[in-house]
Amino acid sequence: MKRVFIKDLVVKGEETVLLKGWVHKIRDLSHVSFILLRDKSGIIQLVCTKEQIKGLRLENSIEVTGIVRANEKAPKGLEIEVSTIEMTGKVYYDKLPFEVQSFKEKASLETQLDFRTISLRIPKKKAIFKVQNEIEDAFRKFFKGNDFEEIHTPKITHSGTEGGSEMFTVNYFNRRAFLSQSPQFWKQMMVGAGFERVFEVGYAYRAELHNTWRHLNEYVSLDVEMGFIKDETDLMDMEENFIRYLYKHLKETCSDELKLFNVELPEEISIPRIPLAKAQEILLTEYNKKSPVGNIDNEGEALFHKYVKEKYNSDYVFLTEYPTAKRPMYAMEREEDPEMTKSFDLIFKGVEITTGGQRIHDYEMLKAKMERLGLKLEDFAFYLDTFKYGMPPHGGFAIGLERITMQILNLGNIREASLFPRDMKRLTP
């Protein structure tokens, strides 16, 4: 008999079905017994005899055969009249580390992460990764639908893309190598290779000394690079269209999961674009908040979100025109003011989820800037040489998958949006 997932159950007369899953809850009443069975797709009520539940404990994995019955009082209006139950996975615990059945955040996040495979059995915790999976799926579908090709770039590299101080070193056959901070060089090179439009879903590594609610040292980056652009506005247009597509996709695929988190996604998305200097001026005028040179700190991002929400009714804002001194060497400078770049950040509910912009595409211009910054050209020859052969105007951006998941679901800590988070302290599980 072929197994049926709980989400696919329907009443079909006296047809017997086979279900598999975990014992989520047991209710042993005087005249009848119930089990709530949980599989990856949902929870269903089983109507059992006392003999059938004998020896079962919470979180046993079991196989069940029975007939689907309609019952308006049962969860989702269905229940299973059980014929047989077979235990397929015994349990050996004295006590669960925390309740899976009626979890109310009693366990600390650290305890949940210590027992990650148990915490992920909690339906609301698992729902986070259904949403995250659909974000990734929407990302692929949208960009493939806009003539982008998916690529996979090296995660072991011989040099850094964003600077050497925040890199993890690797012993690569007695040579010093690094874990990649970003696919930046390679996605630009693929534009120059004739792919024109590329994207990647892959891990990135930052050896940053941050141990905060919004930082991970290993995270998933959704990267995009696009050739033959006019300027950075083409990139912001593309990302704004993706956010619209994403919200539509999530409404269609994750309505139950969004309800678990009391999230209602807006019908319309229109993202304001505000120069960084203007944002800093607003923060000072409206909130007496001083900003660091060439940037906005975490508190400033949160305050500016409040301003944008009130003025534009938007949870998103593009901050544009970052100073050259605060951006990587490949950032294109503005013709009218070389001290400023054609770059942007996307702030979502007070948290930066994207950095992007137009890149320098002229070989001599890029070479001169590298020399001006004191970089050794031989260290970047593999990258720089691509620009000798007709590199078109191009640019791109990267979205942090865990951050956008965290902000959509209003989670309190980015670790909740990572299956097995890696931070300054955690290397297991």
The reply to whether 401 sits in an annotated binding site is: yes
163 has pLDDT over 60: no
| Residue-wise pLDDT tens digits, 176-208 | 999 999 999 999 999 999 999 999 999 999 998
Q: Cis peptide leading into 429, omega within 30 of 0? A: yes
pLDDT score for 65? 98
The number of CA neighbours under 13 Å toward the Cβ of 429 is: 12
Say if residue 275 is in the same domain as residue 148. Answer: yes
pLDDT score for 105? 64
Angstrom distance (rounded) from CA 386 to CA 357? 19
| Residue-wise pLDDT tens digits, 19-38 | 999 999 999 988 899 999 99
Secondary structure class of 20 (helix, strand, coil):
strand
How many domains, in total, are found in the chain?
A: 2
Give domain status of residue 322, yes or no.
yes
257 has pLDDT over 60: yes
Angstrom distance (rounded) from CA 43 to CA 78? 10
pLDDT score for 193? 97
Which structure tokens are listed for 427?
């290397």
Angstrom distance (rounded) from CA 266 to CA 316? 12
Among 89, 109, 141, which residue terminates a domain?
A: 89
pLDDT score for 264? 97
In angstroms, how far apart are the furthest CA atoms of the chain? 84
The reply to whether 110 sits in an annotated binding site is: no
pTM of the model: 0.95
The reply to whether 69 sits in an annotated binding site is: no
Say if residue 167 is in the same domain as residue 237. Answer: yes
Say if residue 72 is in the same domain as residue 139. Answer: no
Domain membership of residue 381 as a residue range: 123-417
The reply to whether 215 sits in an annotated binding site is: yes
Backbone conformation region of residue 327, classed left if phi is above 0, alpha if psi is from -120 to 50, else beta: beta
173 has pLDDT over 70: yes
The reply to whether 206 sits in an annotated binding site is: yes
| Residue-wise pLDDT tens digits, 371-395 | 999 999 998 999 999 999 999 999 9
The reply to whether 403 sits in an annotated binding site is: yes
Among 33, 65, 89, which residue terminates a domain?
A: 89
The reply to whether 216 sits in an annotated binding site is: yes
On average, the pLDDT of the chain sits at 95
Angstrom distance (rounded) from CA 63 to CA 39? 11
Angstrom distance (rounded) from CA 387 to CA 365? 10
The reply to whether 372 sits in an annotated binding site is: no
Nearest residue to 402 (alpha-carbon basis) of 394, 393, 391, 413: 413
Give domain status of residue 163, yes or no.
yes
pLDDT score for 210? 84
Which structure tokens are listed for 345?
């950040």
The reply to whether 355 sits in an annotated binding site is: yes
The reply to whether 327 sits in an annotated binding site is: no
Q: Average pLDDT in the 288-308 region?
A: 95
Angstrom distance (rounded) from CA 72 to CA 385? 69
pLDDT score for 161? 63
The reply to whether 200 sits in an annotated binding site is: no
State the pLDDT confidence band at 365, using cuts at 50, 70 and 90.
very high
The reply to whether 364 sits in an annotated binding site is: no
* Percentage of residues of the chain with pLDDT beyond 70: 98
pLDDT score for 52? 94
Say if residue 341 is in the same domain as residue 222. Answer: yes
State the pLDDT confidence band at 164, using cuts at 50, 70 and 90.
low
Which structure tokens are listed for 250?
């999530």
Angstrom distance (rounded) from CA 201 to CA 143? 12
